[in-house]
Amino acid sequence: QAQLVQSGTEVRKPGASVKISCRASGYLFRDFFIHWVRRAPGHGLEWLGIMSPSGASATYAQNFQDRVTMTGDPSSTTVYMELSDLRSDDTAVYFCARNPTGDATWFDIWGQGTQVTVS
């Protein structure tokens, strides 16, 4: 079945960077965008950006434009999200989620989440 599997828990110090992976399987990779969303303690879901399946383009949320980089490797059906200059308020669970290409507006499958702790 279709699934997204993310890399494991990360702990970083303030000012460092973190790179999380999201590997897709069980579906045609090129038919879905991959988004990154986080949930910090005591907060709701927050969108970080979208990655095209080809890995050729990404659009980032305004709040993260200068700190986030999304890349992709279609050959391994894996997408990466790197967040730099980490602060304590970046402590959160980070999720990848897929969104059908075309006019679809929803996320139907989510990764299991990656805990990032900045301390």
From the list 9-17, 18-26, 32-40, 81-89, the region that binds other proteins by CB under 8 A is 32-40
Work out how close the CB of 81 gets to other proteins at its nearest, in angstroms, rounded to a whole number.
15
* Residue pair 90/106 in contact by the 8 Å Cβ criterion: no
Calpha distance 101→98 (Å, rounded): 9
Buried b (16+ CB within 10 A) or exposed e, 32-53: bbbbbbbeeeeeeeeebbbbbb
| Out of 46, 67, 91, 117, the residue judged to bind other proteins by CB under 8 A | 46
Work out how close the CB of 111 gets to other proteins at its nearest, in angstroms, rounded to a whole number.
7
> Would you give the binding string for other proteins spanning residues 68-87, x where CB under 8 A is met?
--------------------
| CA-closest candidate to residue 20, choices 104, 102, 107, 84 | 84
Q: Which residue type occupies 6?
A: Q
- Interface ranges with other proteins (CB under 8 A): 35, 37, 39, 44-47, 50, 59, 61-62, 95, 97, 105-108, 110-113
